[in-house]
Structure 1
């Protein structure tokens, strides 16, 4: 096994190598999951499910340099899937959260993560990948399997919606 990459070892069933790969990514995974799920327990569930799915499909990664992107794609798909499954619960939580937010001081309302949470998924995803994961537009396009122009459009529209939020307006379609 000496001289082999961690990915190659993990693909051959070496659990310790897989865990080392995950160890490097765990903080990014949790942060991204939290942005989607908005609470610690659900975020941890998404991370756990992502790691399980990654372990099962580890052979599908062709190059180690793409492991992080591949893993993040699994996480986003898992989070979106979980949100769809629990759509009724999430809507109820959002309504309660918005009612509570109406009584908060202005400083608390101007929280960027809160604004991002209220964006449509396509805007939220590109903004998080661009500004929280520091991916280039081209990398985001590759990651999402869409044209760069679509990524740029969604970034621009997402930023516009965030500006509307901060100017006291509403993010259309989401209550803000």
Structure 2
């Protein structure tokens, strides 16, 4: 990330802020979409996060952590949105790739449904690790938690997912 642009944005340079957002917007959208599985809602979350970032960028202490800071704002916005709308995502809203074999589609739906059932801390680490391909350290930075906590949450989430998917196969 360009630290000079972050410093300019912190001083009120709107163009620098916009350039930073342009670099991050696709990642933000993908992350929001994983939470809500709806294009319009994901866009609303991204817009909310960008607005919150814009009005509070002066509070960012370390310019090198801009991306992490912005991701944290997005996650909080997504969780606030979900709480506000208390929405459970129907599986038929999930993206399915045309032409996939039926069993692959069912497996994806089973996995997505199982992820949807996870408690928020577990769901968040799974999304960041496997959908955003972040490292444990990056996740710890974003969530402001020790790396050990992230590893524990990932382990428990994976164990819970395996258990859920195994029950689905047996039942």
TM-score range, shorter chain: 0.7 to 0.9
User: Tell me, which stretches of 5 or more residues in structure 1 are unaligned?
Assistant: 99-104, 171-176
Q: Which has the higher contact order (CA 8 A, sep 6+)?
A: 2
Change (3 A) 1:157 1:120: same
Displacement over 6 Å in runs of 4+:
none
Distance in 2 separating the partners of 1:168 and 1:109: 14
Matched, 1:162 2:161: yes
User: Tell me, which stretches of 5 or more residues in structure 2 are unaligned?
Assistant: 94-101
- Which residue of structure 2 lines up, in the alignment, with residue 151 of structure 1? 150
Aligned residues of 1:115 and 1:162 also touching (Cα < 8 A): yes
What are the superposed Cα offsets for residues 44-101 of structure 1, whole Å, 9 maximum, x if unpaired? 00000000000000111222220000000000000101100111xx14x54x759xxx
The two structures have a TM-score, normalised by structure 1, of: 0.79
The two structures have a TM-score, normalised by structure 2, of: 0.81
Aligned residues of 1:35 and 1:113 also touching (Cα < 8 A): no
Task: Report deviation, 1:25.
Answer: 0.4
- Which residue of structure 2 lines up, in the alignment, with residue 110 of structure 1? 107
Distance in 1 separating the partners of 2:47 and 2:138: 25
Distance in 2 separating the partners of 1:145 and 1:5: 24
Task: Report deviation, 1:39.
Answer: 0.5
- Which residue of structure 1 lines up, in the alignment, with residue 52 of structure 2? 53
